[in-house]
């Protein structure tokens, strides 16, 4: 996805761009409009500090992160940020009927060990996936499952949201934060976001769609993203019908979690949930068919490119 925050002629502001590799294992792109270069750089510095802080809470790759210490049973209380993540994960697991699942990475690990896991191995893992992952005792979440938990499909969007909030508080009048394609825009203007076609074999192919983003979040997930595989936590099988899902939501965290869920759910359930949550959605199927809801159609800048 490509997006450019454009200068507004009626209010001259300094346009500041920054890009970093290796942030949360992906690329960070930051675009800010601020009254001065000094203020823009100050906002950038605050954004980087906030991302570092949240990475120290949510990372599944750092054994010393709060999330990993909690999973190891080494905490007696959790921060408001981790508490928020766990509560939201519970809510979205229920609302997506298990299509979003914090322990879904266990399926990926199983398929990496066995190209085609046998029915017994899948049954054991599915039983573990159906059991409670944690419970709350006197306001403290205690992990109950033996499975490792990961929240990247929610945490990355949350970090983009919080980074955008920090930039706004630091004085940048308008901004766009993109973490590996999870985007959050804020401010009086808007930005055109180009969504790549999952079947395109070249980066210079025209986009599948271009949407207008204004004070919203956007995320795309699917098997086309970096050659990844997605799994249905409810069945234990690889996702086959949906190749890519894009969601435009009031915030990046919601877009992030629903983009993952919509790769798993059948279209009637995706459409019903998208409309209930008041988000725009675009789904590309393996057979090449492209499905959208009314809100996504309303956000479109140009007609969908339905053929390569």
pLDDT at 254: 98
On whether the pTM is more than 0.85, the answer is: yes
CA dist., res. 197 & res. 175, Å (int): 26
Phi, psi dihedral angles at 130 (to 5 degrees): -80, -15
Phi, psi of 2 (to 5 degrees): -125, 140
Helix (H) or strand (E) holding 26: strand 26-34
Which 3 state secondary structure label does DSSP give 237?
A: coil
Neighbour tally for 298: CB within 10 Å: 12
pLDDT of residue 224: 56
Burial (CB < 10 A; 0-12, 13-18, 19+), residue 101, is buried
Residue 12 falls in which region: left (phi positive, over 0), alpha (psi -120 to 50) or beta: beta
Domains defined along the chain, listed by start: 12-60+151-187 (3.10.520.10), 66-150 (1.10.3980), 190-308 (3.10.520.10)
Between the alpha carbon of residue 138 and those of residues 76, 134, 135, the distances in Å are 11, 13, 10
pLDDT tens by residue, the chain, 308 residues: 556 665 454 567 899 999 999 888 889 999 999 999 999 999 999 999 999 999 999 999 999 999 999 999 999 899 999 999 999 999 999 999 999 999 998 988 888 888 788 889 889 999 999 999 999 999 899 999 999 999 999 999 999 999 999 999 999 999 999 998 899 999 999 999 999 888 887 666 788 999 999 999 999 998 754 456 788 999 888 888 999 999 999 999 999 999 999 999 999 999 999 999 999 999 999 999 999 999 999 999 988 876 66
């Amino acid at each position: 996805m490509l997006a450019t925050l454009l200068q507004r002629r009626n209010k001259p502001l300094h346009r500041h761009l920054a890009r970093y590799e290796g942030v949360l294992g992906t690329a960070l792109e930051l675009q800010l409009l601020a009254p001065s270069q000094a203020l823009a750089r100050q906002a950038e510095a605050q954004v980087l500090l906030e991302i570092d802080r949240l990475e120290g809470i949510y990372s599944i790759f750092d054994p010393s992160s709060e999330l990993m210490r909690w999973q190891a049973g080494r905490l007696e209380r959790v921060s408001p940020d981790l508490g928020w993540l766990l509560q939201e994960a519970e809510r979205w697991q229920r609302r997506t009927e298990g299509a979003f699942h914090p322990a879904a990475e266990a399926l990926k690990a199983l398929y990496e060990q066995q190209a085609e896991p046998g029915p017994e191995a899948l049954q054991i893992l599915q039983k573990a996936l159906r059991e409670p992952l944690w419970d709350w005792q006197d306001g403290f979440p205690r992990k109950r499952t033996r499975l490792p938990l990961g929240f990247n499909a929610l945490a990355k969007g949350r970090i983009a949201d919080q980074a955008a909030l920090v930039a706004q508080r630091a004085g940048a009048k308008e901004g766009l934060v993109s973490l590996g394609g999870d985007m959050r825009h804020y401010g009086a203007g808007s930005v055109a976001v180009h969504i790549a076609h999952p079947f395109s074999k070249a980066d210079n192919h025209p986009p599948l769609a271009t949407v207008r983003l204004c004070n919203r979040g956007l995320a795309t997930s699917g098997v086309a993203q970096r050659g990844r595989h997605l799994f249905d936590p409810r069945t234990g099988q690889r996702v086959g019908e949906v190749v890519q899902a894009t969601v435009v939501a009031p915030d990046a965290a919601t877009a992030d979690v629903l983009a993952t869920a919509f790769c798993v759910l059948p279209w009637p359930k995706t459409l019903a949930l998208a409309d209930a949550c008041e988000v725009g959605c675009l789904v590309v199927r393996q057979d090449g068919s492209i499905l959208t809801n009314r809100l996504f159609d309303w956000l479109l800048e140009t007609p969908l490119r339905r053929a390569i």
